[in-house]
Amino acid sequence: MTQAIAPPNLSANAPEEKLLWTSADLELLPDNGNRYEIIEGELYVTRAPHWKHQTTCGRFFTVLDIWSLTTKLGKTSLGAGVIFGNKDDVIPDVVWVSKEKYEALIDQSGHLLGAPDLAIEVLSAGTDNEKRDREVKLKLYSSQGVLEYWIADWREKKLQIYRRENGVLKLAMTLFVTDTLTSPLLPEFSCPLSQIFE
């Protein structure tokens, strides 16, 4: 479940001015197991996800990480922080970033300060959660230069692949459990989706 919360600098008697959350505000939030993300200054709070959501994330991470370790072309991370700016601070489920980009973007805290090559979100139940991943994050990742965005639905066992075309992420294809996943971004990478969604 995702919910929006007012920023700490907004009082009940304040005029109708919209105050925005920043990355600095995240430091003030409790470490209580929730995931806090900021997109265009709006805070999104997500509770601990479903077991199968996490299993799906882990399987994507595993196949990408094995491929990355073999090819040495980049790095894979599960739930890494990606900071696009003071008002856009998110935690994709899985990211892959090329070796060159990683070295240019990683900061001392272990966050990426810019777009990974690939971002993967696994859908959580609920209209708000789906809207965040299908619309809000798609817009954010598109505007920030992510090259591919995969939206995985473990309930329906399908994967939507968005690829950058003319500067914008566009739906390139939808794959199902009987299909094999490949990508021009990942040379010689191949994974039957049955391995992800079994």
Closest CA to 95 of 72, 111, 109: 111
How confident is the model over 20-60, as pLDDT tens digits? 998 888 888 877 777 888 888 888 877 767 889 899 999 99
Amino acid letter, 174: T
Compute the mean pLDDT over every residue in the chain, rounded to the nearest whole number: 89
Structure tokens at 6: 């007012």
Whether the CB-CB separation of 65 and 80 falls below 8 Å is answered with no
85 strand-pairing partners: 88
Structure tokens at 43: 């805070």
What are residue 66's phi and psi, to 5 degrees? -60, -45
Q: Where are the domains of the chain?
A: 49-197
CATH topology of domain 49-197: tt1808, chain A (3.90.1570)
How confident is the model over 11-20, as pLDDT tens digits? 444 455 678 9
How confident is the model over 92-106, as pLDDT tens digits? 999 999 999 999 999
